[in-house]
Copies of this chain bind each other. A is one copy, B any other.
Amino acid sequence: MTARREENAVGLPRNYLRPCLLLLLAEGTAHGYELLEQMSTLGIDRVDPGGLYRCLRAMDEDGLVRSAWEPSTSGPARRTYELTDEGRQWLHVAAGSLAEVVRTLDRYHARYAEIAERHEPVR
């Protein structure tokens, strides 16, 4: 039970993190913590740092990004991530998929509106 985060709510697409990170990296090289903060500008707050770093490493292994340790002048060392050509391609594909999702969801909504009308007469 444990009242989980929120009674099974419908949420963002599966595997949404990857396209988000790729987009941010397409806008410019960055390191993990920076990306973590910028995620909120994409409409996601409360990103799990663990998941984010794991995702970055997975993308590194998949060759979508290239990483390099950057000795910091102050504070702990940071790993900067740079998008590869393959990553850019992947981003393009993902953007297409997301557009497809939007189309599907629009169809859903149109259909929902139709039946909702029947319940709430024109005011």
Contact = CB atoms under 8 A, between A and B. Distances in A.
Interface residues of A, number: 40
Nearest to A42: B108
In this complex, the member of A18, A26, A97, A112 whose beta carbon has the largest number of chain B beta carbons within 10 angstroms is A112
Interface of A is mostly: helix
Contact of A12 (B8, B94, B104): B104
In this complex, the member of A20, A42, A43 whose beta carbon has the largest number of chain B beta carbons within 10 angstroms is A43
Interface of A: 8-16, 18-20, 23, 26-27, 42-44, 88, 91-92, 94-95, 97-99, 101-109, 111-112, 115-116, 119
Contact of A10 (B9, B13, B44): B13
A84 to B, nearest CB: 14
